Structure 1
Amino acid sequence: MAPKSITRATKLCLLLLVTMFIYSSAEVGQLKETNMTLYLQDRSAGPNATVVPVTGIPGRLWTFSSFGTMFCSDDPITVGFDKTSAQIGRVQGIFVTSALDGSSTHVSVSIVFTNATYNGSTIQIQGASRQFESVREVAVVGGTGIFRYARGYATFETIYLDTLISYAVIRCNVTVLYY
């Protein structure tokens, strides 16, 4: 038979474990969902370019469909389609053409908000983007500020493209869950 002190210690440990489980299971905040539509004003050439190639395979042309090409992006985000609509933030990050046939890029970008509602908050987006599909879906993997502990998904859809001036408008629909 075990001494009473071991039995009491075992009971105390069990009580402590149950208390920790209840505390960790307690609701720390109400899970919120936000859906938003953003417009990325994307310029890939000229003096005001917001997307530029930064490296690629030596001796090959660095294009969006060239395997191994890495781009850096700092696109303005507006509330509407028109480039003169109110700017609410920027999409900043990198993407790499990661499929040998050029059909996919790996995206790692942050939506950085500058508007009054979400100022200073960010949403982190990462994943494979099938760039020749009309709608591309990637994961929301985190966030800061209001969007701390964010998770969800984002879709990108090129809704306007002018190849002569290397300008595109990309609609981004974001569904994000956060506390």
Structure 2
Amino acid sequence: MGSKTRTPPTKLSLLLFLAIFVSSSQADYQQKETNMTLYFQDFSGGPNATVAIVTGIPGKVWSFFSFGTIFVTDDKITAGPERNSPEVGRGQGIYVTSSLDGANTHVLFSIVFTNKEYNGSTLEIQGRSIQLASVRESSVVGGTGNFRLAKGIATFETIYYDATIFYSIIRCNVTVLHI
């Protein structure tokens, strides 16, 4: 005769408790989806620069296409593509040229909302950005305020560039799930 194993009552109670806890904690909030289009007003040089090189590999050229070059940014974000369009936030963070051939950067920055609707809320963007791609895609990995527990995707497309004043307009389409 084979012996029968029985699960002790304490293990069954613990499993039941965990099942109830998991199902009740998931029912406490309903996820919302938010879609928005934002415009980064980016100056990569000149007296109005909103992007600056911090450092790079000693003895190498420091540029957007040089491995190891680190940049900081504080771009104005507007509701429309025009420079005088109402400001809705700031794009603040860092970029690192992260591939040996200079083709990719790693982005890590916050969209910090300053408009009335989302004032003080943030979305956290992180990931690889293929520099010469017409549309670049990064992950939304978190958020605060109105965007607590955000996750989603952000795409970036340069829609205007003026090399004489180092100015570009970057359209950002964001889709996030949040509570």
1:75-134 alpha-carbon deviations (Å, 9 max, x no partner): 000001111000010000001001111110000010000001000000000000001000
Q: 1:24 Cα deviation (Å)?
A: 3.4
Structure 2 vs 1, CA of residues 61 and 34 (structure 1 numbering), >3 Å: closer, same or farther? Answer: same
CA deviations on 1:27-58 (whole Å, 9 max, x unpaired) are: 12111101100000000112221000000011
- Shift, 1:12, TM fit: 4.3
Further displaced range: 113-122 or 58-67: 58-67
Pairing 1:142–2:148 present: no
**Corresponding letter in the other structure for 1:16:** F
Distance 1:74 1:11, change over 3 A: closer
1:102 matched residue in structure 2: 102
| Cα distance change, pair 14–71 in 1 and its aligned pair in 2 (3 A) | closer
> What is the Cα deviation at residue 7 of structure 1?
6.2
Residue of structure 2 in register with 1:19 after alignment: 20
| Unpaired segments ≥5 residues, structure 1 | 1-5
State the alpha-carbon separation in 2 of the partners of residues 44 and 171 from structure 1: 16
CA distance in 2, matches of 1:98, 1:15: 48
**Residue equivalent to 1:159:** 159
Letter matched to residue 37 of structure 1: T
Moved more, 61-70 or 103-112: 61-70
For residues 160 and 175 of structure 2, the distance between their equivalents in structure 1, rounded to whole angstroms, comes to 22
Q: How does 1:27-176 map to 2 (within 5 A)?
A: 27-176=27-176
Partner secondary structure for residue 64 of structure 2: coil
Moved more, 56-65 or 83-92: 56-65
Corresponding residue number in structure 2 for 1:3? none
Instruction: Please give the root-mean-square deviation of Cα atoms over the aligned residues, in Å.
Output: 1.7
AA matched with 1:23: S
Counterpart of 1:93, as a letter, is G
CA distance in 1, matches of 2:138, 2:10: 50
Query: How far apart, in 2, do the equivalents of 1:85 and 1:125 lie?
Result: 23
Identity level (%): 60
In structure 2, runs of 5+ residues without a counterpart are 1-6
Change in 2 beyond 3 A, CA 1:124/1:65: same
How many residue pairs get matched? 173
List, as ranges, runs of 4+ consecutive aligned residues in structure 1 with deviation greater than 6 Å.
none
In structure 2, how many angstroms separate the alpha carbons of the residues matched to 1:69 and 1:9? 57
Structure 1 window deviating more from structure 2 (109-118 vs 14-23): it is: 14-23
Q: Normalization by structure 1: what TM-score?
A: 0.91
